[in-house]
Amino acid sequence: MAEQPLNGAFYGPSVPPPAPKGYFRRPGHSRGCGCCLLSFVVKVIIAIIVILGIAALIFWLIVRPRAIKFHVTEASLTRFEHTSPDNILRYNLALTVPVRNPNKRIGVYYDRIDAHAYYDGKRFSSTTLPPFYQGHKNTTVLRPMFQGQNLVIFNAGELRTYNEERISGVYNIEIKFRLRVRFKLGDLKSRRTKPKVNCDDIRLPLSTFNGTTTSATVLPLKCDFDF
C-alpha cells in the first residue's frame, strides 16, 4: 500500500523552549563532589589535631615533664700551658657535674655521654663517660676528666687572649655534653634523642698560680639543657 504524502511541510523534531532568564545549568556534579570530599578531609584533619592537642595536654597535666638539670659544682685546673713553637696545649682539668632528674614518673637512659672541653672556641679534649640509667627524682654525679696534650693553633688574637689569661691566672673554659638518651614512662620507652648541654664561660683559676685571682666563676654553675 503506498504511503500517503504528509500535508504541509516537515521541519524535524521540536525544539525545547529556551531556559528562563537568570537560569544557570550546572555542567555536572563532579565539581560539587570534589568540594564535599575536600571539606570532609579538612574536617578530619582538624579533628585529629584537636584530639592530639587534648591528649598532649592531658599527658602534660599527668606527667608534668621537666628538663634534666646539669650543674658544675667543682672544677680543678692544675695545668694549662700552650707552647708557641709546636702549638701544643698541655692540660689537666677535672670537673664534678651532678645531673638531676626532677621528674616524678620519667626515668632516663643515658646511652651515650660525650664531654668536650673548649678554650676560645677550640676543642682541645674529649672524653666519653659510661652509660647508665637514672630513675625519677634522682641525682647522678658525673666526673669528667681531661688530661693530656693536643695540637691547638692560635691566631694572633687568640694568642693575645691566652697570654692575658695566663698573666691573670684565670682561663675561660667551656664544657659541652652531647647525649643520646631515651625516656622511660612505666613500661614505655621513647625513641633515642640527642640533647645538648652547654656549660659556658667557666672562668677557672690555675691551681698552681702564685698571684691573686679575682675573676673566677663562683660555683655551682647551671648549664643549659637543650633538645
Cell 584533619 belongs to which residue? 45
Does residue 192 contact residue 219 with C-beta atoms inside 8 Å? no
> Which position has the grid cell 660555683?
219
- Per-residue pLDDT tens over the stretch 60-108: 545 558 899 999 999 999 999 999 889 999 999 999 999 999 999 999 9
Cell numbers standing for residue 21: 532568564
When pLDDT is cut at 50, 70 and 90, the band that residue 215 belongs to is: confident
145-163: average pLDDT: 96
- The percentage of the chain sitting over the pLDDT mark of 90, rounded to a whole number, equals 62
Instruction: Tell me the pTM.
Output: 0.73
The pLDDT value given to residue 147: 97
- Would you place residue 36 in the very low, low, confident or very high pLDDT band (cuts 50, 70, 90)? confident
CATH class of 69-226: mainly beta
129 versus 62: the higher-pLDDT residue is 129
User: What average pLDDT does the segment 119-146 reach?
Assistant: 97
Q: Give pLDDT, residue 99.
A: 98
Domain ranges of the chain: 69-226
CB 72 within 8 A of CB 204: no
Taking the C-alpha atoms of residue 194 and residue 199, their distance in angstroms, rounded to an integer, is 16
Of 30-39, 100-109, 159-168, minimum mean pLDDT range? 30-39
For residue 85, CA distances in Å to 18, 123, 125, 172 come to: 102, 20, 20, 23
Q: How far apart are CA 131 and CA 123, in angstroms?
A: 23
Identity of the highest mean pLDDT range in 47-56, 95-104, 201-210: 95-104
Q: What is the pLDDT of residue 213?
A: 65
* Number of other CB atoms surrounding residue 97 within 10 Å: 24
pLDDT at 42 (0 to 100): 86
| 38 confidence band (pLDDT: 50, 70, 90) | confident
How high is the pLDDT of residue 39?
82
* pLDDT exceeds cutoff 70 at 131: yes
What is the torsion angle, in degrees rounded to the nearest 10, for the CA atoms of residue 184, residue 185, residue 191 and residue 192?
-30
Backbone phi, psi, residue 145, to 5° = -130, 135
What pLDDT shows up at residue 41?
A: 85
Assess whether pLDDT exceeds 80 at residue 54: no
Kindly state the percentage of the chain with pLDDT values over 70: 79
Is 13 a residue whose pLDDT tops 70?
A: no
Mean pLDDT, rounded, of the chain: 86
> How many CB atoms sit inside 10 A of residue 124's CB?
22
